[in-house]
């Protein structure tokens, strides 16, 4: 396996931190970025010359450009971009404010685009590269109190699918990682944002979500280290997949969703096909 240079957003915790550690252990170079890079100082000390830890806030283009410039100056190129930074907003569609929804999309969608554009320019120039976008089973399904988070991940799915088509001529690959329940901090309510406006009519749904989070937190069936291993392995593939479902729960939810969707399409097939001029 040839050593590569990886740029990872949100490298301080969860999938980002685990992936960073595994890559460094295997001899890769890593541009491990975070809003508070000091939390990665131990890796900088442990792997001198192999890792840099620039500050990067996906909503701040200046910090993005500076981090990518530091990556170019240090390693000369970027082989793999991992768009991992993101967070979840909990609240029904009616409860979530315009500002809260915009912030959700600023980080999960526009932030991903802000980082990707300059890195893609480098990859086109070198005519190789791989973009890994952390989506979720939420990118394929939705739910009452996670609808806006799910919407942001649906957007990442569409962007990635179109991106893959546009950059294929430049030998740039794109892969969506779609985890289900993995033992990261995501189910910890301290790492989530809640809509400030709480409408009484939705109390039962909101409390049900909180109970579910308390129930699954720390007991999720998925091992995040295995997701990191899968990401590293698929980057070595000649023809990596556009999508990788991670976890049995993600596989079951996705396949059930598409079976239901296909059944709905087929039940209205004649009506759908009948909408033509009667010339």
Task: Reduce the secondary structure of 192-207 to three states and give it as a string.
Answer: CEECCCCCHHHHHHHH
| Residue 179: per-residue pLDDT | 96
Cα distance between residue 121 and residue 15, in whole Å = 26
d(CA 236, CA 3): 11
Q: Is residue 231 part of a domain?
A: yes
Domain total in the chain: 1
| Pairing of the two strands 243-246 and 51-52 | unpaired
Maximum alpha-carbon separation in the chain: 75
Is 276 part of any domain? no
- Tokens, residue 45: 């000390």
90 has which bridge partners?
Answer: 194
Count H helices, E strands: the chain?
Answer: 10, 9
Range of the domain at 123: 5-270
As annotated, the active-site residues are 12, 135, 149, 153
The helix (H) or strand (E) run that includes residue 119 is helix 111-126
Lowest mean pLDDT among 26-30, 150-154, 222-226: 222-226
For 56, 74, 158, 165, 240, the CA distances from 251, given in Å and listed in that order, are: 33, 40, 19, 24, 18
| Domain annotation covers residue 188 | yes
In a domain, 115, yes or no: yes
Query: Is residue 258 included in any domain, yes or no?
Result: yes
**Would 154 be classed as within a structural domain?**
yes
CATH number of domain containing 176: 3.40.50.720
pTM for this prediction: 0.95
181 occurs within a structural domain = yes
Strands 5-8 and 80-83 come out as: parallel
Asked, for residue 153, whether it belongs to a domain, the answer is: yes
Q: How do residues 195-214 score in pLDDT, each as one tens digit?
A: 999 999 999 999 999 999 98
**Higher-confidence position of 138 and 191:** 138
What's the rounded mean pLDDT across residues 228-250?
Answer: 97
Cα first-last separation, the chain: 62
Angle in degrees, CA 157, 71, 87, rounded to 5: 35
Q: What is the pLDDT of residues 82-113, one digit of tens each?
A: 999 999 999 999 999 999 999 999 999 999 99
């Amino acid at each position: 396996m040839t050593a590569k240079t990886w740029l990872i957003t949100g490298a301080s915790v969860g999938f980002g931190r685990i992936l960073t550690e595994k890559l460094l252990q295997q001899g890769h170079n890593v541009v491990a970025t975070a809003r508070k890079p000091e939390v990665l100082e131990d890796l900088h000390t442990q792997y001198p010359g192999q890792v840099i830890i620039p500050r990067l806030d996906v909503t701040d283009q200046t910090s993005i450009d500076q981090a990518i410039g530091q990556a170019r100056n240090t390693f000369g190129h970027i082989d793999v971009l991992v768009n991992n930074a993101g967070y979840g907003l909990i609240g029904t569609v009616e409860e979530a404010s315009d500002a809260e929804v915009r912030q959700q999309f600023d980080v999960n969608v526009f932030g991903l685009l802000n980082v990707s554009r300059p890195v893609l320019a480098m990859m086109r120039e070198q005519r190789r590269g791989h973009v890994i976008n952390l989506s979720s089973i939420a990118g394929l399904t939705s739910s009452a109190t996670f609808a806006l988070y799910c919407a942001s991940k649906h957007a990442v799915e569409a962007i990635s699918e179109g991106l893959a088509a546009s950059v294929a001529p430049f030998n740039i690959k794109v892969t969506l990682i779609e985890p289900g329940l993995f033992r990261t901090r995501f189910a910890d309510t301290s790492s989530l944002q809640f809509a400030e406006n709480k409408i009484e009519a939705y109390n039962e749904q909101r409390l049900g979500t909180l109970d579910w989070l308390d129930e699954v937190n720390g007991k999720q069936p998925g091992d995040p280290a295995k997701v990191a291993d899968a990401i590293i392995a698929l980057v070595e593939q000649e023809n990596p997949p556009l999508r990788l479902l991670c976890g049995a729960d993600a596989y079951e939810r996705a396949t059930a969703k598409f079976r239901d969707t296909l059944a709905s399409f087929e039940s209205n097939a004649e009506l759908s096909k009948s909408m033509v001029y009667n010339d």
